[in-house]
Amino acid sequence: AEQYENILVERRGRVGLVTLNRPEALNALNKALMDELVAAVSAMDVDPEVGAVVVTGSAKAFAAGADIKEMQSKGYMEMYAADWFRGWEDLTRLRIPIVAAVSGFALGGGCELAMMCDFIIAGDNAKFGQPEINLGVIPGMGGSQRLTHAVGKAKAMDMVLTGRFMGAEEAERAGLVSRVVPAADVVEEALKAAEVIASKSKPVAMVAKEAVNAAFEVGLAQGVLFERRVFHSLFATEDQKEGMAAFSEKRTPEFKHR
Ligand code: CO8
């Protein structure tokens, strides 16, 4: 099995559970942690036995940001030459559905990591924020873009310019998170959601994710056309035949993931 130092990786049936595990730094995202996270989820992406992934942190912090101490002393050329944060975005190019289970702080890069996942289930103690402005920088892992897509200009500007935190209720109202649950249940609830996803056809779930993501990249007419084309393509799958047969026969489908 893989040896990881900054994350814990478990399997619950067809669901992969990745727990960020740098408690001494509130799961601050350093390069080593992110490399491990991307490697672990990439392996699940191509593992036919895994149908969905949950990424979570601790009860106190999903992640309190990119690792400030790792960046603090760097100069422009070092950041540029290393293309700091390169590779971290690879998470967004994986096709397997990824649910973020957020308890406690999701700040800076932690909020950005949660937003790179497909949806966020938040504990009622969750606190989201892009406080980079307090450090003399701005979001650097997609926050200025993904937060704006998620909550609109007014709240994104408010968060990015003032650095204030948003609680779980506000985050749900604003559309940043899909569900708020009691903090103690957040991992269980995310695992349940992921289990539901993993019970579907994996290739079909991947195509569904790809279709929704297209809405953020292309115009409406092109997006609708893309959807129709990939919809047609699913009639080449065994799982479409099985799903529709099961409906007609009033039974539960047994998807073969092909
Ligand atoms: N990086 C490194 N270490 C961290 C971080 C972090 N982001 N967050 C917390 N820690 C460490 C603390 O230094 C502390 O370590 P130690 O015990 O050795 O002093 C330990 O975690 C526990 O933290 P606290 O004692 O501060 O815990 P509190 O409960 O008092 O406070 C907070 C919790 C409010 C979450 C507080 O830790 C905090 O404000 N953290 C920083 C939040 C933040 O500013 N995040 C944004 C970071 S920058 C970023 O993510 C965007 C990247 C874009 C940069 C662009 C560059 C190109």
Work out the angle at residue 139's Cα, subtended by the Cα atoms of residues 171 and 66, and round it to the nearest 5 degrees.
Answer: 95
The predicted-structure confidence for 210-232, as pLDDT tens digits, reads as follows: 999 999 999 999 999 999 999 99
Helix then strand then coil, % of the chain, to nearest 5: 50, 15, 30
ipTM of predicted assembly, 2 dp: 0.92
Does the Cβ of 139 fall within 6 Å of ligand 1?
yes
Does the Cβ of 82 fall within 6 Å of ligand 1?
no
Does the Cβ of 109 fall within 6 Å of ligand 1?
yes
- Average pLDDT over the chain, rounded to an integer: 97
Q: Is 109 a catalytic residue?
A: yes
Q: pLDDT band for position 76 (50/70/90)?
A: very high
Q: Is pLDDT of 1 > 60?
A: no
Q: What is the pLDDT of residue 168?
A: 98
Beta strands in 7-153, from DSSP E residues, in sequence order: 7-12, 15-20, 52-56, 61-63, 98-102, 105-107, 119-123, 127-129
Q: Is 10 a catalytic residue?
A: no
The predicted-structure confidence for 14-71, as pLDDT tens digits, reads as follows: 999 999 999 999 999 999 999 999 999 999 999 999 999 999 999 999 999 999 999 9
